[in-house]
Structure 1
Amino acid sequence: MKRGLVIHVHGVASPEEAEQLESLGVDLIGVVVGERTTGRVIARDDAHAIAACLKRARLCVELLGEASLLEPQAARRMGVQVVQVPWGTEVPQTWRQALARASIEWALVRVPADEDDDPAWVRARIEEVGTPPPAWTQVELCPSLEDGWRVIRDASEDELDARDLDALAAKLPLLFSLPLRLDELKEIRRGLFHARGFSFTLGDKLGEALGAHHFTLNQVRELLKRLEAESN
Structure 2
Amino acid sequence: MLRVDDLRSCYGRIEALHGVSLEVKAGEIVTLVGGNGAGKTTLLRAISGVQPVTGGAIRFKGEVIDRIDAHRRVGLGIAQVPEGRQVFAPLTVEDNLRLGAWSRKDDGIAADLDGVYASFPVLAEKRALQAGGLSGGQQQMLAIGRALMAKPELILLDEPSMGLAPILVEQIFEAILALKARGITVLLVEQNAFSALSIADRGYVLETGTITLSGEGRALLDDPKVRGAYLGL
| Bigger RCO of structures 1 and 2 (CA < 8 A, at least 6 apart) | 2
- TM (norm. structure 1) is 0.36
- TM (norm. structure 2) is 0.36
